[in-house]
């Protein structure tokens, strides 16, 4: 189960309002992956988000106690390396990524989602992630 961060999910969901359909779709896919990888359902996320938190409402496992782990881009915890799929969406959604790079990445989307990118493309993606998201 990966770390789930509600604030990151909110930032990703805000991109759904983008005038660019591809960015909105990428945000939807990333949000869905975040919820799935955290072992949650959308019903659980929305239910606790809509209802006010009280002593009787249990908190989601999304807000673990603070630990000595540095936060990565978009609030991700850096406990593990991001998969090419996660790096792809981070680069695509980053406001620092140039438009020409985003256009190039849109041609990769199906292969990234299917896990069919070449080792060279994986290295290129990691470089773009370091340059436009982390750096």
pLDDT at site 61: 52
Distance, in Å, from the CA atom of 40 to the CA atom of 4, rounded to the nearest integer, reads 9
pLDDT at site 42: 85
Domain parsing of the chain, residue ranges = 1-62, 81-135
Closest listed residue to residue 93, CA positions, set 30, 3, 7: 30
If one compares 2 and 132, the residue with the highest pLDDT of the two is 132
Tracing tokens 């799929």 back to the chain, one arrives at 85
Tracing tokens 């790079």 back to the chain, one arrives at 101
pLDDT at site 90: 84
pTM of the model: 0.47
Distance, in Å, from the CA atom of 101 to the CA atom of 20, rounded to the nearest integer, reads 15
If one compares 126 and 60, the residue with the highest pLDDT of the two is 126
Which letter does DSSP use for residue 83 in this model?
P
pLDDT digits (tens, 9 = 90+) for 57-66: 455 555 444 4
pLDDT of residue 67 exceeding 50, the answer is no
Element spanning 93, H or E: helix 84-93
Mean pLDDT value of segment 39-45: 84
């Amino acid at each position: 189960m990966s770390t789930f961060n509600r604030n990151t999910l909110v930032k990703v969901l805000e991109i759904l309002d983008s005038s660019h359909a591809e960015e909105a779709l990428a945000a939807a896919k990333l949000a869905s992956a975040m919820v799935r990888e955290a072992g949650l359902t959308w019903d659980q996320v929305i239910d606790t988000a809509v209802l006010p938190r009280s002593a009787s409402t249990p908190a989601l496992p999304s807000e673990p106690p603070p630990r000595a782990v540095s936060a990565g881009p978009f609030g991700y915890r850096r406990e593990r390396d991001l998969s090419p799929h996660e790096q792809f969406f981070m680069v695509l959604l980053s406001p620092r990524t140039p438009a020409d790079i985003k256009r190039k990445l849109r041609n990769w989307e199906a292969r990234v989602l299917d896990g069919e990118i070449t080792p060279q493309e994986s290295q290129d993606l990691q470089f773009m992630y370091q340059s436009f998201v982390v750096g």
